[in-house]
Structures are given as C-alpha cells and as structure tokens.
Amino acid sequence: MKRREFVFAGVTAAGTAACALSVVQTATLPAVPDRAHERPWFAVIFDERFAPAHAFAQAAAWRGHKVFGYDGDLTAVWQREIEPHWSRRAGALAGMSTAPGLFCLEQLAAQHWLRVVTRSEQRAGAGAPLISWVIA
C-alpha cells in the first residue's frame, strides 16, 4: 500500500465514522423494537488487522466511545463485551470489519432483536473491502 493510499484510507475511515455517528443518532426506524436505535452506542469494535479500521476506532475513541479490537475472531469480544450488553438491551454497537465478521454479528444480533441499520463499504487499497456498520 502506498503512502497516499494509506492516508486517503485513513481520512475516508474517519469521515465515515463521523457520518455514521450523526446518521445513527438522528435515524428514525420504527421497525426496531423498543426504539433501540435511539439508545447510545455502548461500544465500537474494529478488526485490528486493517489500518483503516484503526483510524475508524481512533475517531470513535476521540468522540468518547469505548473501543474494542479483535484480530479476525470475534469470539472473545462477543463473550466478554457484546453479549452481556445486548442481553440487557444496553444499546447499539458500531464497528468496522470484513463482510464475514459483519455476517457473524448480524446472526448474533438477530437473537437479541437487533439488526444492521447502517452499512457502508470502504475500499482500502488492493485488500478485501471493509464495511463500517451500526447494529441497533
């Protein structure tokens, strides 16, 4: 990855995070039970293997959100952080991951009556595309 591509990917990820924050907090989605989409985010997760995901997480941390990274396997973050919060209906989750990671979270979210409310694909060089998303 060239320096220019890296910088562009970081700026794009930070911009996406800022846009995602404003979109999620103002969205009106009556199909979501208990108006869960209006709850604040309890955390932001990101795939540590990708530089744009790091930039996304830094932007979220700068805005005061709890940030949790994972290295491609969501199991530990799911058991330690996400599932306990979703069991208490404690808020939305945002993140940046690969498509398989998001698919896994979508399936787990459905068990808690949650769904993906925003999704945006991010191209970061020649690698696999990353997806920034919010589940509420």
Q: What is the pLDDT of residues 19-57, one digit of tens each?
A: 444 433 433 322 333 344 455 788 999 999 998 999 999
Domain span holding position 123: 3-135
> Would you state the torsion angle of the CA atoms of residues 85, 53, 130, 116, taken in this order, to the nearest 10 degrees?
20
Would you say residue 1 has pLDDT above 50?
yes
Q: What is the pTM of this model?
A: 0.67
Which CA distances in Å does 132 have to 16, 22, 84? 8, 14, 22
Structural domain total, the chain: 1
Query: 37, 24 in Cβ contact below 8 A?
Result: yes
